[in-house]
Amino acid sequence: MTRLASRSRVVLVIAAIAAIAIVSPALGGPSVRSLVRKEVSKQISKATGPAGPPGSPGTARAYAYVNPGSNPSFDSSRTKGFTAVSSGATGFYCLTPASGIDPSATAPAVTPVWNSGVLSPSFAQLVSPSDMPAPARCSASQVPVYTYTSSGTSFPATTGAVAFTVVLP
């Protein structure tokens, strides 16, 4: 009988604790959740270690912001590792990386600059040199980029009005 009585006392104590935990917030007291959050944030705020060693500089070997047009140019404050940009035909660009940077060693990333003077959707993408018109073909050491717009109802058209960025990781 004493064993049964001690089990019932344990169940009664657990039920009382659960009732207090549930009723306490309703009576204006702190909830168990808020108490746990407070304790965890207090412990985390003290959990700082020594500063680590400085990291290496960024991993991009080259990047460029290209101002479009028949005489394209780089935005010098946002360009590193490229020496020249040319356009042999409207919407086709050849970017020349600095000596020692091989664009075929990684996958270049090209992104159009949204609404750089063009109101319809603008696009910029890598293009195979063999897909470029003959006067605009890039050499194997250059990064070929194609820019175009689409009104949604017509076939995409090349344009020399889309600024873009290129990154060589």
- Whether 14 is in a domain gets the answer yes
Residue 15 domain boundaries: 2-45
- Whether 54 is in a domain gets the answer no
Contacts of 126 (CB under 8 A, 6+ apart): 108, 110, 143, 144, 145, 146
Same domain? For 32 and 73 the reply is no
Question: pTM for this structure?
Answer: 0.63
Q: 81: pLDDT confidence band, cut at 50, 70 and 90?
A: very high
Most confident of 91-105, 108-122, 149-163: 91-105
- Whether 53 is in a domain gets the answer no
Same domain? For 67 and 41 the reply is no
Count of structural domains within the chain = 2
Q: 44: pLDDT confidence band, cut at 50, 70 and 90?
A: confident
